[in-house]
Amino acid sequence: MLEMFFDPRSVAVIGAAREPGKLGYGVLRNIQQYGYRGSIYPINPKAQEILGLRCYPSVLAVPDSIDLAVIVIPNRLVASVLDECGRKGIKGVIVISAGFREAGGDGIKMEKELTSIAQKYSMRMVGPNCLGIIDTVCSLNASFAAGMRAS
């Protein structure tokens, strides 16, 4: 039931960035660098390629199925992207983006909207405002943490 997090065949990084030092670059680099063997899809409408991988403008443009999406974009854009993930049939989502419940006010409303969208599409969601996940069994570091312990 949680295989989309612990044994994904494919991962999309929504908000993949070309610039070292940005979270979207670090997450994509970690997934690639630590031996993940599945398909990796960087999502960035302003890039053709990042770290040698073809970029797509949205998850809806990816021709293959996606098991897990990692979202690293400004909080005001997360709800619409999460809806795209649902329409694509993605069942696992990690929202690293911050500025939700922990920020109070409108952040609480935005987080409730994310929960509603995830429920609508029967998606499992980790986050928002989280480090990501690290799974040493399938060699997936879908986080912005440097390094990864061996299994």
**CATH, residue 13:** 3.40.50.720
How many CB atoms within 10 Å of residue 38? Answer: 17
| Structural domain includes residue 134 | yes
| Structural domain includes residue 148 | no
| Structural domain includes residue 65 | yes
Q: pLDDT tens digits for 115-139?
A: 999 999 999 999 999 999 998 888 9
Residue type at 131 in one-letter notation:
L
- Enumerate residues 6+ apart whose C-beta is below 8 A from 65: 9, 10, 89
| Structural domain includes residue 57 | yes
CA-wise closest residue to 35 among 144, 145, 139? 139
Backbone angles phi, psi at 124, to 5 degrees: -95, 135
Q: pLDDT tens digits for 74-102?
A: 999 999 999 999 999 999 999 999 989 88
- The boundaries of the domain holding residue 10 are 3-143
| Structural domain includes residue 45 | yes
| Structural domain includes residue 149 | no
| Structural domain includes residue 151 | no
Q: pLDDT tens digits for 47-70?
A: 999 999 999 999 999 999 999 999
- Enumerate residues 6+ apart whose C-beta is below 8 A from 74: 97, 99
pTM over 0.85: yes
Domain count along the chain: 1
| Structural domain includes residue 75 | yes
